[in-house]
Amino acid sequence: MSYKKINIEDWKRKEHFKVYSTSVRCGFSLTVKVEINRVISFVKEKGYKFYPTMIYLLTKAVNNHAEFRMRMKDGELVVWDEVHPIYTVLKPETETFSALYTKYTMDFREFVSDYEQNVQKYNSDLRFFPEVVPENHFNISALPWIDFDSFNLNIADFTDYFAPSFTVGKYKKVGAEVVLPLAIQVHHAVCDGIHVARFIESLQDYCDNVYSM
């Protein structure tokens, strides 16, 4: 787990960081619709599952943007060289879920294979966290039953937990397009609207070019 330290005193976001991490602790959320026509075609043609494919695309996009890889560590602000997804997996017998993680690798097929092995390994484990998750993580959850237009995750303590959270909903066809609702939750101390916009552009580009993986 390698990272770079940020010298807050020399950082361009010094004032914003200090305000949003001390006197006005807050995050913000927004929901967008991601066009996934080519993703749907890809998983059907290649025989992949939709959820791990989207986890990979989200992870690839997250790792492209430093604002989504920040954390307080030992009293200092750091940027991880890479982060790994923690994702929810439903347990039908209890209608609860487990939070698992898969180490990020740029090799899509290797990532999906690792995901499948991990899900199978903890298939009968009903614990919230059946395995130790890494510090350098971010969060993904799924609501495949709901096509939502807005979703807000209320995190009680916005002190120094900077990992973003994503929630994917039920996709649907709108005209000629298939769209996926995606809710994005970030900490305002390290991330502004412009950074979220850039992330969304990256994710949409990866969805559009999914066949090049």
Instruction: DSSP for the chain, please give it.
Output: --EEE--GGG-TTHHHHHIIIIIT--EEEEEEEEE-HHHHHHHHHHT--HHHHHHHHHHHHHTT-GGGSEEEETTEEEEES--EEEEEEEETTTTEEEEEE----S-HHHHHHHHHHHHHHTTT---S-SSPPPSSEEEEEE-TT---S------S--SS----EEEE---EEETTEEEEEEEEEEETTT--HHHHHHHHHHHHHHHHTGGG-
pTM attached to this predicted model: 0.96
User: Domain 29-212 - what CATH class?
Assistant: alpha beta
All structural domains of the chain with their residue ranges: 29-212
Q: What's residue 158's pLDDT?
A: 63
Q: What's residue 13's pLDDT?
A: 95
Q: Closest by alpha carbon to 37, among 211, 212, 196? A: 211
Q: What's residue 155's pLDDT?
A: 73
Q: What's residue 29's pLDDT?
A: 94
What pLDDT digit, counting tens, does each position of 70-114 carry?
999 999 999 999 999 999 999 999 999 999 999 999 999 999 999
Q: What's residue 154's pLDDT?
A: 78
Q: What's residue 160's pLDDT?
A: 82
Q: What's residue 40's pLDDT?
A: 98
Catalytic residue among 16, 65, 137, 188: 188
Chain Cα centroid distance, residue 202? 13
> For the chain, which residues score pLDDT lower than 70?
156-158
84 as an active site residue: the answer is no
Q: What's residue 157's pLDDT?
A: 65
Q: What's residue 162's pLDDT?
A: 94
